[in-house]
Amino acid sequence: MEALSSLSVFESLVITLIVIGLIKIVSIIQYQRTYWKKRGVPYTEVTPLVGIIFGITLRRKIISDYIKEIYHDHQNSRYFGVMDFATPTIIIRDPELIKDVAIKHFDHFPDHRGFVTEEMDPIFGKNVFSLKGDRWKTIRNTLSPFFTASKMKFMFGLVSKCSYDFVDYFYNHPECCSMIRSKEVFTRYTNDVIATAAFGITVNSLKDQDNEFYKTGTDTANFMGILRTMKFLMFRISPRLTRMAGITFLSQSSSNFLTKIISETVKIRETKGVVRPDMIHLLMQARDKGTTRMTIDDMVAQAFIFFLAGFDTSSTLMCYLTHELAMNQDVQEKLRKEVDHYLAEGKGEISYEALMKMEYIEMVISEILRMYPPVLFIDRLCAEKFELPPAGPGHKSVVIQPDQNIWFPTYSLHHDPKYFPNPEKFDPERFSKENKDNIVPYTYIPFGIGPRMCIGNRFALMETKLLIVHLLQKFIIKPNEKTKPIKFKRGTFQLIPKDGFLVSFEKRDS
């Protein structure tokens, strides 16, 4: 009887927990479906519970198509509402309103949401992208001198040598040129650039295929693996439980490697008085001033985000760039003529000043960034109540509450025919001197907008331009039998080509 009684109590407890769970789920779904309707805001219904982004993954949709679809569903509205998990999120379509939120009222929307705090993962959570408030301002001001024009000019030689060595390797290994797997080879180039410019370490990832820097970069940049996706879900759904479980976003091996590299480099420079004007030196200076309170974890975190952005984002830009040059030989030929002109002026060498003068390469890269922006949405987190004007006729103004999201739909703006006619066409002339002034302000935002704009964009452009200059000096970039028009994979957060990036390098006759 006692056993039966105990079983009955246990069954009752289980049933009660299930009922409570179901009631909670139903209440969340009801909250998601009615939140914007109650407030008189145009909205798009998304996948229950998980919201817009993970809904795309679960439904196996092509993210670029879905973003454009919901953007154009609300073409008569300045903004519309969605749900990111259970967080109310406003997607702003109107360029003027984007300017107001990102610049004029930046103090109301100063931060990114982030999903990993420094308590969860000291490297991922302490970098300049993830930090919030005054701590972000301090670190941003500390890092800014590293990305000035004078610093770019100083690092130009280091980056130029990496690009020259990269091209020289393929020139001396013609057997590798018939089928270039662009993503792999360009991440090896960006890996070497980051190693020398940020860490002061010389690496040649084409010759040393399995170097630790490259393996770490591959690991940290893999956001689409099953384990990484599960971690992302756990961080978003239950950060407290994730923290209690001791789970970190980065793998322990990558964290240990980066921490070891920074620690040893700092120790050597302190004991031997080595001075090298790179990112580590800048962070050491900030630490020694006594105002920034820069720990080794802080230094590792800033070097990490520079490493991650340089490794993955810059290499992806190069992949799309070489793909479009291969598919548009007329553009490539015009760009080659510009390259040859400035190389002739420099007697076979390209200088920083010459690179800055090159107009057509700027046009070409700008068009690539329009078609394939590094991020599809730019996010801002509300810090204090803010009232948005009505989304359009017949709608009410809405008060954005603290901890709610604002998104700027970069990809959709860049592909809106209202702003960029025939948007799927690769056309660098959009950014010519005659045409670029006609672009509506705040419709072209590949590196973000306002004080939170990407701090490393100038560096990314310099390393990309140098690679293309040296590549076109020696090669013609051509399509091959496996080069396909870009079609994106389904069910991913990023713009990833279904067929990959495959081109060929053919030696020039002269």
Q: In whole angstroms, give the CA distance from residue 194 to residue 255.
A: 17
The band of 58, judged by pLDDT with boundaries at 50, 70 and 90, is: low
- The answer to whether 41 and 396 have CB atoms below 8 angstroms apart is yes
- The answer to whether 408 and 449 have CB atoms below 8 angstroms apart is yes
With b meaning 16 or more CB within 10 Å and e meaning fewer, what string describes 434-455?
eeeeeeeebbbbbbbbbebebb
Provide the pLDDT for residue 242: 64
Q: What share of the chain in percent tops pLDDT 70?
A: 87
Place of tokens 């496996």: 482
DSSP letters for 20-71? HHHHHHHHHHHHHHHHHHHTT--B----TTTHHHHHHHHHT--HHHHHHHHH
- Average per-residue pLDDT for the chain: 85
Residues 295-349: pLDDT tens digits?
788 888 888 787 777 778 899 999 999 999 999 999 999 999 999 999 999 999 9
- The answer to whether 111 and 133 have CB atoms below 8 angstroms apart is yes
Q: What share of the chain in percent tops pLDDT 90?
A: 45
Provide the pLDDT for residue 422: 96
Provide the pLDDT for residue 93: 96
Q: In whole angstroms, give the CA distance from residue 169 to residue 176.
A: 9
Read off the pLDDT of each residue in 35-57 and give the average, rounded to a whole number: 75
Strands 378-381 and 405-408: antiparallel
Q: In whole angstroms, give the CA distance from residue 406 to residue 416.
A: 20
Provide the pLDDT for residue 29: 75
Is the model's pLDDT at 484 over the cut of 70? yes
Residues 408-423: pLDDT tens digits?
999 999 999 999 999 9
- Cα 203 from chain centroid? 24
Letter for the amino acid at 91? I
With b meaning 16 or more CB within 10 Å and e meaning fewer, what string describes 168-191?
ebbbeeeeebeebebbbbbbbbbb
Residues 187-244: pLDDT tens digits?
999 989 988 887 778 888 888 888 877 887 777 666 555 655 666 666 666 666 666 6
The superfamily (CATH) of domain 27-507 is Cytochrome P450 (1.10.630.10)
Can you read off the two tokens belonging to residue 190?
Answer: 């960006």
Provide the pLDDT for residue 466: 97
Read off the pLDDT of each residue in 245-272 and give the average, rounded to a whole number: 79
For residue 401, CA distances in Å to 32, 74, 285, 388, 391 come to: 15, 22, 39, 11, 17
With b meaning 16 or more CB within 10 Å and e meaning fewer, what string describes 10-33?
eeeeeeeeeeeeeeeeeeeeeebe
Based on its alpha-carbon atoms, the radius of gyration of the chain, rounded to whole angstroms, reads 25
- pTM surpassing 0.75? yes
Q: In whole angstroms, give the CA distance from residue 480 to residue 178.
A: 8
Q: In whole angstroms, give the CA distance from residue 234 to residue 241.
A: 8
Provide the pLDDT for residue 136: 87
What end-to-end distance do the CA atoms of the chain give, in Å?
96
Instruction: Tell me which of 145 and 410 has the higher pLDDT.
Output: 410
Is the model's pLDDT at 407 over the cut of 90? yes
The band of 5, judged by pLDDT with boundaries at 50, 70 and 90, is: low
Is the model's pLDDT at 251 over the cut of 90? no
Q: In whole angstroms, give the CA distance from residue 49 to residue 46.
A: 9
Instruction: Tell me which of 144 and 342 has the higher pLDDT.
Output: 342
Is the model's pLDDT at 25 over the cut of 90? no
Provide the pLDDT for residue 384: 93
The band of 365, judged by pLDDT with boundaries at 50, 70 and 90, is: very high
Nearest to 249 by CA among 195, 304, 191: 304
Domain ranges of the chain: 27-507
